[in-house]
Amino acid sequence: MPSTSSTHPRVIGALLLACTATAVVSGQTVAYWRFEGDSTAFLSDSSGNGHTLALFNSVQQTTLPSTGAGSAFFDPIPRTGAANLSAAHKTIYGVTTNEASRTFLRAADADAFTSNTLTVEAMVNFAQRPTTNTLVFVAGHFTSTGNQRSYAMIVNNQSNLLGVALSADGTNATQYFSDFTITNGKDYYFGVSINLTAATAEERSVTFFLQNLTDGGELLSQTVTGISQSALFNAASAFGIGAQGNGNSSENWRGLIDEVRLSNGILSSNQLLVAIPEPSSAAALLGLAGLGFAATRRRRAAC
């Protein structure tokens, strides 16, 4: 695992996000991996920016079921109205020192992967995770080899908290954690927005978003300040999904990951993938005026 330190930033608060719109902050999609289509297309970048993924080892495309793991992943996606029929399935679990046995996906390095304001989103179901005091990586531009750390969405396996690791120099990374506890076997939406543009640490922030899809939970948000990094290191490494960009993780997690989106900018709550668009913009999304469909998840037909 990478050598990182943890910190206890100031927690601004966890809150239930209301349906009313918050101030909109423009964000541009850098890459969006949906894992849809046939076996030759499901690793493509639907943003049109060409960041196609490479698949390593036992990562498979799987059809989302009507019950069980992944069945609560949104279909269609509330923000876009796009159908969500499949996900990536990481099948290996446990400690491994054999790189050939690590399961992950990665996109070749690009400068667009790192900026000082960005948002990472994903839907995740952990079937099994290590129980030792270590981290699992969800997604990020982060590789410990060669001191190429930048940022990564993480979960701590001792505290089970959703967090992020940030590095300004590529060598030293600090972990910041929310109060959001993750349970194996449940479907979640994860989101992390990083804002390092302010002059002081107290003004710089990380905002975590979490929605427990299995239990029908509401979208929650928590912001922490006291971020020591004033800029992110532009790592010369791949963007990794399910592990660091080179798979360099001493422990593997098994489960599903879907709808991984990287945005250049801080997204407001009503810009996230799980947000219901305002009526004024709904008609532009596949003609779905009113978006009554987004209030509940449509159940898939049993296969």
Q: How confident is the model at residue 44 (pLDDT cuts 50, 70, 90)?
A: very high
Q: What digits encode the pLDDT tens for the residues 250-277?
A: 567 899 999 999 999 999 899 999 998 8
pLDDT for residue 225: 97
pLDDT for residue 24: 34
Q: What percent of the chain has pLDDT over 90?
A: 66
CA angle 137, 234, 119 (to 5 degrees): 55
Backbone angles phi, psi at 140, to 5 degrees: 165, 175
Q: How far apart are CA 214 and CA 24, in angstroms?
A: 28
pLDDT for residue 22: 31
Q: Could you tell me which residue, 96 or 222, shows the higher pLDDT?
A: 222
Q: What is the DSSP letter of 100?
A: G
Position 296 pLDDT exceeds 80: no
Q: How confident is the model at residue 134 (pLDDT cuts 50, 70, 90)?
A: confident
CA angle 154, 53, 299 (to 5 degrees): 70
Backbone angles phi, psi at 212, to 5 degrees: -85, 100
Give CA 42 to chain center in angstroms: 18
Position 35 pLDDT exceeds 60: yes
Q: How confident is the model at residue 18 (pLDDT cuts 50, 70, 90)?
A: very low
Q: Which amino acid is at 202?
A: E
Q: What digits encode the pLDDT tens for the residues 77-100?
A: 999 999 999 999 998 776 665 555
Q: How confident is the model at residue 39 (pLDDT cuts 50, 70, 90)?
A: confident
Q: How far apart are CA 168 and CA 59, in angstroms?
A: 31
pLDDT for residue 248: 72
Contacts of 20 (CB under 8 A, 6+ apart): none
Q: List the domains of the chain with CATH numbers.
A: 4-295 (2.60.120.200)
Q: How far apart are CA 191 and CA 119, in angstroms?
A: 7
